Amino acid sequence: MFVVEPVSDETGARFDLDVTDSLRQEIADRLRSHHLTVVAKVPEDSATPALVISSKLLGFKGMPITLQLPGPGITQCELLSELKDGQTGRRIGQIVASDLEEGIRPMTVLNECAHDVGDAIARQLRR
């Protein structure tokens, strides 16, 4: 079971959309696509342990004011996610996702970073 917290934006960029909520939703949706359970908050009396995912958008290069429009040039993102035990708060691990693309919508590049986080978590669970 996973709780995906809101993503914080550490880039200082002025985005034309709420990328932090979009990234949170993309991570949650990607986990669900791997048949993993995502809940809104850590259950208080659940026998099933929950992992909390806290993420920060650390880097962005591109056109933040035209996220939905494809354009020339390079778009890059860096997303750091930490996984913590939902009951104890103990850090379990971290994932750094980075993507670099040319000539596509900047929002697509941001979403790919979020997908990489979900995919990395799913791979770890299959080990």
pTM reported for the whole predicted model: 0.87
Q: What is the pLDDT of residue 119?
A: 96
Q: What is the pLDDT of residue 69?
A: 58
Nearest to residue 119, comparing CAs of 27, 2, 5? 27
Question: For the chain, how many structural domains are there in total?
Answer: 1
Residue 120, Ramachandran bin (φ over 0: left; ψ between -120 and 50: alpha; else beta): alpha
The CATH number of whichever domain residue 63 belongs to comes to: 3.40.50.10610
Q: What is the pLDDT of residue 103?
A: 77
Tell me the C-alpha to C-alpha distance, in Å, between residue 109 and each of 42, 68, 116: 30, 11, 11
Domain coverage including residue 22: 2-126
Q: Over the chain (127 residues), what is each successive 10-residue block's mean pLDDT? A: 93 82 95 94 75 93 62 83 91 93 83 95 87
Q: What is the pLDDT of residue 51?
A: 92
